[in-house]
Amino acid sequence: MRVISGEFKGRKLQSVPNKLTRPTTDKVKESLFHMIGPFFDGGNCLDLFAGSGSLAIEALSRGMDCAILVDKQGQAISTIKANIKTLGLEDRTEIYRNDAFRALKALHKRERNFDLIILDPPYYQTSYEKLLHSIDELDLLNNNGIIVCEHDVKDTLEAPSINWNKWSKDKLGSTTGLTIFTRG
């Protein structure tokens, strides 16, 4: 696993050493960032099921100012911290071990808002509908912000409110689907 483009292009990243985390392939990562960027002029990123942190790190490498990475697994948090340290990104990141819904509530209390939110939970273990509704209700996405949902190719996701637009749904390979929403 590596950073595809930007400031840290070509740098290797550690993977989470367990079977509970499904890493995003370089091919999917590259397709995803070409769809939503490919580069950013600043902004705040939330990676809610961060795993190794590779998607948030890619966003930082491509121009995001800062990122919050959340995962509930201890091995994932250790891997994220190691990857962040290797790249010297400690001053541009916050890392939390927490449940996704509790993290969303905590971020709302801190009045945090995001330009990019990445949702890549374990397939069939978390409701995208509930996640998207929580993000909408807690007003965590900035106007013109983007939410990226990586999901099983069989899933169809819908916008949680009339204020959101379903921008894209793509099939990448035989198992991975990407749905992108914008607000504004």
- Residue 167: what pLDDT? 78
Domain 26-183 belongs to what topology?
A: Rossmann fold (3.40.50)
Q: Where are the beta strands (DSSP E) in 19-132?
A: 44-47, 66-71, 93-97, 114-119
pLDDT, tens digit (0-9, with 9 covering 90-100), for 10-66 = 999 999 987 666 677 788 888 889 888 889 999 999 999 999 999 999 999 999 999
pLDDT confidence band for 140 (50 / 70 / 90): very high
Domain boundaries, the chain: 26-183
> pLDDT tens digits, residue range 165-181?
887 777 776 677 888 99
Residue ranges of alpha helices (H) inside 125-171 are: 128-137
Cα–Cα distance between 9 and 30 in angstroms, integer? 12
Q: What is the pLDDT of residues 79-124, one digit of tens each?
A: 999 999 999 999 999 999 999 999 999 999 999 999 999 999 887 7
Cα(23)–Cα(33) distance, integer angstroms: 16
